[in-house]
Amino acid sequence: MKKLSFTLFSLFLFLSSQAQVIYHFEGGLGVGPCHQYGREALYTDPLAYQLYKGTLAKPQDGIALLKNAKGEEIKWRKVQADSTHRFRGDSFSNGYVYLTYESKKEQTAVLTLTGHDMVFVNGVPRGGDQYRYGWMHLPVVLKKGKNEFYARVARFGRFGGITANLTFPEKPVYLNTEDLTVADIVPGLKNDSLWIGLVVQNASSKAIDGLQIRAELSGKEVLTSIPAIPAMSSRKVGVLINGASINSPGKQDVAVTLIQAGKTIGQTRIAIQSVEEGKQYSRTFVSDMDGSVQYYAVSPQIKGGESGQPALFFSVHGAEVQAISQARAYKPKDWGVLVAPTNRRPRGFNWEDWGRLDALEVLEIAKKQYNPDPSRIYLTGHSMGGHGTWFLGATYPEKWAAIAPSAGYPTLSSYGSHDGMIPDSAGSPIESILLRASNPSNVLALTSNYKNLGVYVAHGDADRTVSVNYARQMRDILGKFHRDFSYYEHIGGAHWYGDISVDWPPIFNFFSWHSIPKDSAVNAIDFTTANPGISSKMRWASVQQQVKALEYSRIQLMLNKKDARIQGTTSNVALLSLNLDAFTTGTKVKIMLDSLAAIEYQVKEQNETIYLKKETQWQLATAPGKSEKNPWRNGTLKDAFRNRMVYVYATGGTKEEKDWAFEKARYDAETWYFRGNGAVDIIADKDFDPKNFKDRGVILYGNKSTNVAWDKLLKNCPVTVTNGKILVGTKGFSSNDLATYFIWPRADSDVASVTVIAGTGKNGFQAANANQYFSGGSGFPDLMIFSADMLENGMKEVKMSGFFGNDWSVEKGEFVTQ
């Protein structure tokens, strides 16, 4: 009921401010199961395949869409909405709901669905609202006559169901305050430039630029210019508020005015909170990931508590938990401050991918804001945050003195969620490459990284959401090698047994016994990573490059200061760096690795870092060049979706190709907004000048034949995609229905990359529509080529996948074809 009430309330807010007429879809058809999307690049969707090919028969009750693997017919069935306008049932689980609307004329409407992964609107892909929040409003153009909607649904059709309605906005451009990101006014902190995030809807046929938003609070006005809003779309924008004059706690009313060319075109009011001193609060920041407004929550240190630098407790929340709710579950401590990042959304990315980057971004903000004792930084979390604790603890073991996962599962491969599970085995060499790209998600392969951490495991023994067997599994693994972990089962404890599920005094007692040593004081390192671009460093040693991309690299090293020696073993390491700060200038250090010939090196300066590369022997080398793979830019496909990325869509080619490029970019932007509370610039290729987007990630939609930005960004790339053909080095693939995803470093940047979403023709472009790369933990290699037939036939239609070499070449890379 809570979810339903929230959805209906969101709809009420939307209607009361923006629209007069609402149309509820009450009847339709459902079919399923008929698709398979998971946490890997591979997907199948016969309905989408038929839709793209133009062979999809008109849905009718009792008519078969397809036959499953057992030869059984999967048929369309009538579905009817209940009294709350919600469609429920098994008939469309892992399937589709088909809805139609007869329009007497061509007109603009706003489509609001809940409970779906995405929807085809007259064949065009649009973003989904799989968690039924109710604020995912999509401006659409209804054609005269029948309009068709195919809403893709995951496996929760019976329980959550879907709702669908159309509204007809009075204005083409307006503000929407249902999905706010707000900061609190906090005594003692800077409150004169607080960022908030709110949505601007553009239900017009043209992009809107030059808008401003004026925010007025207690007589203080701030005017903020906002970015362009694409046609028939929306964007969550950042707006500044000045709260410096607020001195008393309570809700504060902010007047918000939308301005175009000096004229007011929309007004609304929002409330922000001024909190009492010592109470938990939220603060916002502009993310370097995409330039959007994000927030984190704080449970402050008790005033008058322990003097000196405080400890920092970093707490990651569970699914559907807001960061501020996470912070409020903890009583303030006298010896430290607690900070809770958001994972970008209450579900976000399972603390992987961009959830991981959000955690790192907030961690750095917390260090600057609260100046904690660098030796007393601790990590904890519950449920999905328990997984986040296991994952972030294993991925960045040097950042924490101790970790405390509560009610957590270690790895996504063994715990299902809305996005599905990562398969645990490959059926072919090409699938092995695809799954290898998910290796950074596999906590179980990284457990040796916990050796230098204190670990406190807590779980309720009656937990029916996340089985206690996950905790027992980790207890048994740790018990084989770990000398510093504690294990606690709360007898009779369900998944949540009150605030002590996280604010458990023995956890904080355990934390108080642990501290992070200085790097130079650590003599033994045992560190594993699957991707140096995600995690490369452990104290004074770093994996700079791998022999085989995304296979596990491990270094086991001992440093003997007395004997001036470093020795140990490595696996899957092509380039290694060692910081020699433990040794004084002039010391001759002997380095012995993998039982090969020793290297003697005389330290030239304090805090010196040297590089070693492995060929037949280990030998001195130099740092990797910026044009090589390195810890700052190592692939894989998702790596370009950061550095304030920009989506660049093609304007060349046929009308169908032009339309696809913009529609796909908008669909990805909508998905990024929903999943990551994000915002992104969508730019036409003819308007893209690399100099104006310096060091920004680029997502390029189209191919060399259709996107004029191709040669500006990919001039020396060994992958070329044109109409009818893909060329990878000397290997060619010819067909009009091929799709590809690949990544390439920007030649004009040391950090940013280009991800290409391309096809060789109409059906190839359409096959690239799926955006499973936004699923947390999903693995995508550097390059993948597949035909549109993959949607029907699966893995055998993947033509090529693999990784570029450390020099970003095809020749020194690893690619599999079939």
Is the model's pLDDT at 499 over the cut of 70? yes
Q: What tens digit of pLDDT does each residue of 239-255 get?
A: 999 999 999 999 999 99
Q: Which 3-state string (H, E, C) describes 645-662? A: CEEEECCCCCHHHHHHHH
CA 336, 338, 339: angle at the middle one, nearest 5? 140
State what percent of residues in the chain have pLDDT above 90.
92
Look at residues 70, 98, 366, 754 and name the one whose alpha carbon lies nearest to residue 379: 366
Is the model's pLDDT at 555 over the cut of 70? yes
Q: For residue 454, with 0-12 CB atoms within 10 Å meaning exposed, 13-18 middle and 19 or more buried, which class applies?
A: buried
Q: What tens digit of pLDDT does each residue of 702-716 get?
A: 999 999 999 999 999
DSSP 433: H
Question: Which amino acid is it at 538?
Answer: M
Q: What pTM value is reported for the model?
A: 0.96
Side-chain-facing half-sphere of 102: CA atoms under 13 Å? 1
| 7, two tokens | 């959805």
**CA–CA separation, 743 and 745 (whole Å):** 7
| 340, two tokens | 């809770």
Task: Report the pLDDT value the prediction gives residue 18, as an integer from 0 to 100.
Answer: 54
Task: Report the pLDDT value the prediction gives residue 38, as an integer from 0 to 100.
Answer: 77
Look at residues 625, 629, 480 and name the one whose alpha carbon lies nearest to residue 553: 629
Q: For residue 500, with 0-12 CB atoms within 10 Å meaning exposed, 13-18 middle and 19 or more buried, which class applies?
A: middle
Residue located via tokens 């992104």: 680
Band of residue 157 on the pLDDT scale cut at 50, 70, 90: low
Is the model's pLDDT at 15 over the cut of 60? no
**CA–CA separation, 353 and 638 (whole Å):** 8
Check whether the bond before 636 is cis (ω within 30° of 0): yes
Name the helix (H) or strand (E) containing 138.
strand 137-142
Please provide residue 579's backbone torsions phi and psi, each rounded to the nearest 5 degrees: -90, 130
Look at residues 339, 316, 326, 455 and name the one whose alpha carbon lies nearest to residue 386: 316
Contact predicate 457/485, CB 8 Å: yes
Task: Report the pLDDT value the prediction gives residue 159, as an integer from 0 to 100.
Answer: 65
Task: Report the pLDDT value the prediction gives residue 158, as an integer from 0 to 100.
Answer: 59
Is the model's pLDDT at 9 over the cut of 80? no
For the segment 60-67, the average pLDDT, to the nearest whole number, is 96
For residue 334, the tally of other CB atoms under 10 A from its CB is: 11
Band of residue 418 on the pLDDT scale cut at 50, 70, 90: very low
Reduced DSSP (H G I as helix, E B as strand, rest coil) percent helix, strand, coil of the chain, to 5: 20, 35, 45
DSSP 36: B
CA 406 distance to own-chain centroid? 22
Contact predicate 99/28, CB 8 Å: yes
For residue 658, the tally of other CB atoms under 10 A from its CB is: 17
Q: What tens digit of pLDDT does each residue of 593-643 get?
A: 999 999 999 999 999 999 999 999 999 999 999 999 999 999 999 999 999
Band of residue 155 on the pLDDT scale cut at 50, 70, 90: confident
Q: What tens digit of pLDDT does each residue of 284-342 get?
A: 999 999 999 999 999 999 998 888 999 999 999 999 999 999 999 999 999 999 999 99
Distances (CA, A) of 766 to 302, 354, 778: 56, 26, 21
Distances (CA, A) of 624 to 105, 530, 802: 61, 18, 21
Q: Chain-wide mean pLDDT for the chain?
A: 95
Q: What tens digit of pLDDT does each residue of 442-498 get?
A: 999 999 999 999 999 999 999 999 999 999 999 999 999 999 999 999 999 999 999
For the segment 9-18, the average pLDDT, to the nearest whole number, is 50
Is the model's pLDDT at 39 over the cut of 90? no
Task: Report the pLDDT value the prediction gives residue 165, as an integer from 0 to 100.
Answer: 97
Paired with 295 in beta bridges are 284
Q: 10-22: buried (b, 16+ CB within 10 Å) or exposed (e) per residue?
A: bbeebeebbbeee
Task: Report the pLDDT value the prediction gives residue 226, as an integer from 0 to 100.
Answer: 96
**CA–CA separation, 568 and 559 (whole Å):** 9
| 727, two tokens | 């060329």
What lies within 8 Å, CB to CB, of 450 at 6+ separation is 393, 394, 397, 403, 478, 482, 485
Look at residues 262, 254, 147, 240 and name the one whose alpha carbon lies nearest to residue 193: 240
Q: Which position has the higher pLDDT, 3 or 30? A: 30
Is the model's pLDDT at 515 over the cut of 60? yes
For the segment 531-557, the average pLDDT, to the nearest whole number, is 98
For residue 253, the tally of other CB atoms under 10 A from its CB is: 11
Task: Report the pLDDT value the prediction gives residue 416, as an integer from 0 to 100.
Answer: 60
Look at residues 635, 591, 655 and name the one whose alpha carbon lies nearest to residue 745: 635
Contact predicate 789/737, CB 8 Å: yes
Return the biggest CA–CA distance within the chain: 87
Task: Report the pLDDT value the prediction gives residue 3, as an integer from 0 to 100.
Answer: 39
**CA–CA separation, 376 and 567 (whole Å):** 29
Look at residues 761, 718, 765 and name the one whose alpha carbon lies nearest to residue 741: 765
Measured between alpha carbons, how far apart are the two ends of the chain, in Å?
50
Is the model's pLDDT at 8 over the cut of 50? no
Task: Report the pLDDT value the prediction gives residue 6, as an integer from 0 to 100.
Answer: 44
For the segment 149-161, the average pLDDT, to the nearest whole number, is 81
For residue 418, the tally of other CB atoms under 10 A from its CB is: 14
Q: What tens digit of pLDDT does each residue of 643-669 get?
A: 999 999 999 999 999 999 999 999 999
**CA–CA separation, 214 and 193 (whole Å):** 13
Band of residue 803 on the pLDDT scale cut at 50, 70, 90: very high
